[in-house]
A and B are shown apart, each in its own frame.
Chain A
Amino acid sequence: MKNKRILKTDGSALKELLLEPPLETDFRREKSCRQYLVILARIILAAVFIYAAFGKINKPMLFSQQIRMYKILDGSFLLYTVAIVLPWIELLCGISLITGIFIRGTSLVLSAINITFLVFIIYRVLNVMGSGETAFFEVFFDCGCGFKPTYAWKKILENTALLGFSLVLLFSREYRFVSLRSRGRRQG
């Protein structure tokens, strides 16, 4: 139907059509590639953070004990508040990534907390290395993230990857979960 209509018009529209396609398909391919990256980042971040949140959401006392091991928050009120609120921030961020509601704000929150986690973990590793003369690759701890105890260098790599994904989301303009639907309107 579309082709018929174009044939009816004068030559300029036809010329336009002939010139346009390669440009447009290139643009689209690049666009869909970025969209897949965004979808991947959303799925991975949502899975990690929701799993981590459920690990500690009902154990604020144990979690506060684990935060205390970082030797950064020693004061009681701030420590307990973090222990109560942080798992919920993680859970809500995970839900937001799945549903697509407030996703831009969520990616900002996730970037901020991932940077904080990274700094805390590195600080703690330096602490452990300083006190016990442990080599960097041998530092082994329970980070209190809601996962099993592991080597610190693995945790640092994981956190860097998560931070990367959050930054991809923060600076991306493609937030639609299904990339082929509803062209033109941007969500976020």
Chain B
Amino acid sequence: MEIKRTIIQAIAVCCASTLFAFTYNAFSDNGINPFRQADAEKIAKDLDKSAGNITVIDLKKFREMNKEGIILIDARTESDYINGHIPGALLFDYYKFGSFADKVLPLIDPWSSLVIYCSSPTCDASDLLAGDLYELGYKNIFVFEGGFSKWKEEGLPVKKGLE
């Protein structure tokens, strides 16, 4: 009986927490949508493509484009950026969207090509940032899939500190 009661109480505590958590999340300004998609290809599928697109690119394509004059955006955190980033990248920490949007977006022409990267092939900051910037009107968006880890693996130049 004791064991049964303990388990029932434990389930009750978990259910109550879940209920409070999702209710709070729904009304909080900082709430997140648990169904948000973190895959740029999936995000791109749902877009209205008449105006532009989000394209996932690999390292080879990225290096070609990098020569042509694109705007490169680093979607990682500030400490990651200071520890090393791809030369010429602008810092735009996706997880502090509000504060960086005010600083960085006025610098970017809506018709320019943007390449976004984050830390690794599995990170999702770049995919999510791509989706949000597309909504804001930037139409030529590319996501560098390999991220900073791929860039570093290839032994390509890395710049430290803030630019």
Contact = CB atoms under 8 A, between A and B. Distances in A.
Answer whether A and B are interacting partners.
yes
Interface of A: 57-62, 64-65, 68, 71, 74, 76-77, 80-81, 83-85, 87-89, 91-93, 96, 102, 104-106, 108-109, 112, 170
Contacts of A81: 34
Contacts of B12: 102, 105
Contacts of A68: 123-124
Contacts of A76: 34-38, 124
Nearest to A92: B17
Contact of A106 (B10, B33, B35, B36): B10
B30 A60 contact: yes
A109 to B, nearest CB: 5
Contact of B18 (A77, A83, A85): A85
Interface stretch (B1-9, B106-114, B154-162): B1-9
A57 B23 CA distance: 13
A5 to B, nearest CB: 37
Contacts of B11: 105
Nearest to B29: A58
Given A77-B34, A91-B17, A105-B11, 6 more contacts: A76-B35, A77-B35, A84-B25, A84-B31, A88-B21, A96-B13
A93 B9 CA distance: 11
Contact of A80 (B17, B28, B36): B36
A54 to B, nearest CB: 13
Given A93-B13, A104-B9, A108-B9, A58 B30 contact: yes
A139 to B, nearest CB: 17
B16 interface: yes
Contacts of A108: 6-7, 9-10
Given A60-B25, A89-B14, A83 B6 contact: no
B122 interface: yes
A59 B95 CA distance: 10
A80 B13 contact: no
A60 B37 contact: no
Contacts of B123: 68
Interface of B (DSSP majority class): helix
Contacts of A85: 17-18, 21-22
Which are the 10 A-B pairs with shortest beta-carbon distances?
A105-B9, A88-B21, A80-B34, A105-B10, A89-B17, A88-B17, A108-B10, A85-B21, A102-B9, A76-B38
A112 B14 CA distance: 12
Nearest to A81: B34
B24 interface: yes
A58 B28 contact: yes
Nearest to B125: A65
A81 B21 CA distance: 9
11 contacts: A57-B24, A58-B28, A60-B25, A61-B95, A76-B36, A88-B18, A92-B17, A104-B5, A105-B5, A106-B10, A170-B6
Contacts of B18: 85, 88
Contact of A64 (B28, B32, B35): B32
Contacts of A91: 17
Contacts of A106: 9-10, 13
Nearest to A170: B6
B100 interface: no
